[in-house]
Amino acid sequence: MTEPLYDRLSRELARHLPMHMPGHKRNAALAPYLRGLRADLDITEIEGYDNLHAPEGILLEGMERAARLWGAAASYYLVGGSTAGILAGIRALTRPGDKVILQRGSHLSVYHGVALCGLVPAYLYPPRVPGFDAWGSVAPALLHEALAAHPDARLLVLTCPGYEGILSDLPALVRMAHQAGLRVLVDAAHGAHLGLAEGFPAGAVAAGADIVVHSLHKTLPAHTQTGLAHALTPEIGAALAEQLDLFQTSSPSYLLMASIDGCLRLLAEEGEKLFAHWRQALDAFAQEAASLRRLRILRGQAAPDLIWGMDPGKIHISCAGTDITGHALMDTLRRQHGIELEAAGPDSALAMTGMGDSADTLLRLARALAAIDARLADAPPRGELPLARPQAVCPPGEALAAPFDLVPMAQAEGLVCAEYAVLYPPGAPLAVPGERLTGQVLAQIDGATLLKTRSKHAPDRIAVMR
């Protein structure tokens, strides 16, 4: 086994004069930010440090370690986040014009892959979980209906776990798709920690998906923007690697790759102990939060007809039926308790935990919630707009390539959308290019926290096809 990449960078670089990129020349004394961000370890591909796009040494060894940990035939480093893996994975498993079945709540990167590859989407609409602003599980019966309605589909894209930690029965769904002749890509960006230790559910790789994409940084001890893409077979791995060459930078950060390498080694050497500590912290939170009177923590057993399973690492808090909104709850935790949550909606707020949490940090959250809970009063339900199911007039890629105009929202009803209107977080579109804008769709867009493409500087307008 070679030494950790971080150790090699720390030990070897000072011995050589860098007459190569980057321009700071590892001179961290130039500025405080260079020193703080470890510019002394920031290199390009030089002798002895391998090459992300043609790994033969220390990077290849790390990728092989990842494949062993998760049980994949081949695994690859991602330095462009899960987005790079999703784009590459979709392109590796499809050809232009193919039909793809995907969850409507998929991340924007999935939609970008569909448009970029010239695919035709067909959507799965799982049920919404009342009071939690969340999609429920994809039931096998729902997929069965989609497969019957779209026998020409070639790819199934599933998001599991979802942003809020809700799981679907992946083994059953993957088996159904394979029997129907579809390949399966799982966006498991939020599930890199699953399947690695007792106390946490099984993961997407074990379910037999053709390609699985993980964000390491979301739950595991790795820097932001790091991830892994896993392939079921060597043949799929080769196709995936070819596409990763297109979607990942030719100048990858060795600081990010050292973080991936360090995370993988830590999991291999101390993962059992660290996962046990994390699980104990989650159990301590659950015990403390059991006394909440009005706030509710999402648990699968509370809605067994909507939720197949849950990732215990997500703490999703409902304030439905109280006199506080999810946004107000998030703000109160920030201002009064110094706790910053991941996201909030009208009826709920989301706390993400990770391996770096402890019983102390999670008990602090539980006690803050208890203090807020004690001051809450009952209130009538706020109600939720029925989720719109817009009609697709043309594929997203075609709509994005067409001429467009920016029109006021009030005048857009009946026109065909030419941009993404994305609820952010979690990054799921309310409107997709090529779909007709109905009053219901526009009502959901109105007032939402949006990330938009073409009209991002005109929040009261939306792009429509001419």
- Which residue is it, tokens 């739950």? 219
- Of 53-57, 129-133, 277-281, 424-428, where does mean pLDDT reach its minimum? 424-428
pLDDT tens digit sequence for 49-82? 999 999 999 999 999 999 999 999 999 999 999 9
Task: Give the model's confidence band at 31: pLDDT under 50 very low, under 70 low, under 90 confident, else very high.
Answer: very high
Q: Residue 450: pLDDT above 80?
A: no
Q: What are the helix and strand counts (H, E) for the chain?
A: 13, 20
Percent above pLDDT 70 for the chain: 99
The closest alpha carbon to 160, from 144, 179, 143, 180, belongs to 143
Query: How does residue 446 score in pLDDT terms, banded at 50, 70 and 90?
Result: confident
Report pLDDT for 195.
96
**What tokens were used for 432?**
């997709």
223 by DSSP, 3-state: which? coil
pLDDT band at 257 (very low <50, low <70, confident <90, very high): very high
pLDDT at 281 exceeding the cut of 80: yes
pLDDT > 90? residue 135: yes
Based on its alpha-carbon atoms, the radius of gyration of the chain, rounded to whole angstroms, reads 23
The rounded distance, in Å, linking the Cα atoms of 65 and 270 is 14
Q: Which residue has the tokens 């060597």?
A: 234
Edge-to-edge strand ranges of the sheet holding 296-297: 296-297, 314-318, 348-352, 343-344
Instruction: Compute the average pLDDT of residues 93-120.
Output: 97
Q: Identify the pLDDT of residue 302.
A: 65
- Non-local CB neighbours of 267 within 8 Å, separated by 6+ positions: 69, 196, 220, 274
State the pLDDT at residue 151: 98
Residue 1 has a pLDDT of: 67
What value does the mean pLDDT of the chain take? 95
State the average pLDDT over residues 374-379. Answer: 97
Q: Which of 263-272, 347-356, 385-394, 450-459 has the lowest mean pLDDT?
A: 450-459
What domains lie within the chain, and their CATH numbers? 1-49 (no CATH), 56-268 (3.40.640.10), 271-373 (3.90.1150.10), 396-465 (3.90.105.10)
Q: Are 133 and 449 in contact (CB under 8 A)?
A: no
- pLDDT band at 382; cut points 50, 70, 90: confident
Report the distance separating Cα 372 and Cα 398, nearest Å.
49
Under the banding of pLDDT at 50, 70 and 90, the label for residue 92 is very high
Structure tokens at 106: 């998929």
| CA pair distance 416, 399, nearest whole angstrom | 8
What is the average pLDDT across 315-341? 97
Mean pLDDT of 334-360: 97
> Is a pLDDT exceeding 90 seen at residue 88?
yes
